[in-house]
Structure 1
Amino acid sequence: MRITSEVLQSFETSVKKYVGELNTLDMEDLLQKENEEEWSIGQMYMHLIQSALFMHLRNSEHCLANNENTVHADAEKTELGRTLFEAGQFPPIRVKVPASPQYTPQPPESKQQLVEGLQQVVQQMRRAASVLDEVSVSTSRKISHPRFGALNAEEWFVLIDMHYKHHFLQLDRLKGNLGN
């Protein structure tokens, strides 16, 4: 597994790219949807921010705290989870989740909301990296991901970087549909 500082540097590079892309888009672009089943670019950004803050980073913290949300450190990843972490990236395929009130992100209110959200994730990632550098992750417990199985604190942290990189494919696809 990559060391924490490498993951953080890679993640910060991805965020710079996402912010740069935001500078080329207006609110109309951010809210445009191909159809009701698809997300807009703005919703994709909201998904990245919310999943990092409220799922990935939170689960990393729970693992280190060894609280009631965790499973035993011997719990395993699924086959898909093992494959994902061995490759160090998501496969370059489209993942489609049915629209639902629980999963579908709300559209952003402004570009500033997205920039501030991305900055908040970077700050939280920096804090998490410093904590991960100070503790023995091997002693942390795990939290199960719905598709990837049991992940420890460092794996939840690494997953954020892989997730952000994976969504560049969606961003390119959605940008290609602008104006249609």
Structure 2
Amino acid sequence: MSRKEVLFIFKNELSKYSPEQLRHIPGEGVWSIGQMYDHIIVVAHEYLDNVEICAASNEEQSLGKTMAGKKLFKDGGFSPIKIRLPDEMNAPPNNSDGREKLAKRMEEVISRLEHWEAEVTLINPNCKVEHGGFGWLNAKEWFDLVGMHSHHHLRQKDELESYLKKEM
């Protein structure tokens, strides 16, 4: 499944949630579906910002990925486990956007992704930006990370939908 296909799944399925379902927090430490969407969008923009930084850079970086980064890219995605960031990096995502606003924001991500799709392979692979867990990534790797990260959240979406079926 391509990066864009994953984002289109999220965008197209927004219409099936009521405003209450989007904002419903099923328990302590669990996000609502709306918060998951917000997280995916914010992170995708952050990763695409790093694609832009790589594209604008003339400074080459010889350092590479961490062991975790090497494993992630070798496997082609995240392991099917829940990942919890350290508390200082784990502020709850926004839970106030409705379907229309989330759909518009998702469309903006898709548009940026489409813009960089053809360009990303032309960017010097030695111009990199550091990721806190995965090491130094080039534009193509940041671009691919958008899809890997979004795809990882498909499992979370299924889990959150199962809570809705039980609770609402």
Q: Does the pair score TM above 0.5?
A: yes
Paired position in structure 1 for 2:4:
12
Deviation of 1:127 after TM superposition, in Å, equals 1.1
The superposition leaves residues 62-116 of structure 1 with CA deviations (integer Å, 9 ceiling, x where unpaired) of 112117xx7x421111101000001111111111235568732111321001110
**Which range moves more in the overlay, 9-18 or 155-164?**
9-18
Cα distance in 2 for partners of 1:62, 1:175 equals 36
The alignment status of 1:44 with 2:30, answered yes or no, reads no
- Percent identity over the alignment is 33
> Is residue 47–residue 146 contact of structure 2 (8 Å, CA) maintained in 1?
yes
User: Map of 1:90-129 to 2, 5 A cutoff?
Assistant: 90-97=78-85, 103-129=91-117
The superposition leaves residues 126-167 of structure 1 with CA deviations (integer Å, 9 ceiling, x where unpaired) of 11123224x2432x4111111111100110000000011000
Paired position in structure 2 for 1:3:
none
Deviation above 6 Å: which 4+ runs of structure 1?
Answer: none
Gaps of 5+ in 1: 1-8
Cα distance in 2 for partners of 1:109, 1:117 equals 10
User: Map of 1:2-151 to 2, 5 A cutoff?
Assistant: 10-53=2-45, 55-66=46-57, 72-97=60-85, 103-133=91-121, 135-138=122-125, 140-151=126-137
**TM-score, normalised on structure 2?**
0.90
Gaps of 5+ in 2: none
**Secondary structure of 1:137's match?**
coil
| Number of matched pairs | 166
Paired position in structure 2 for 1:163:
149
**Secondary structure of 2:136's match?**
strand
Cα distance in 2 for partners of 1:108, 1:128 equals 29
Cα distance in 2 for partners of 1:100, 1:175 equals 27
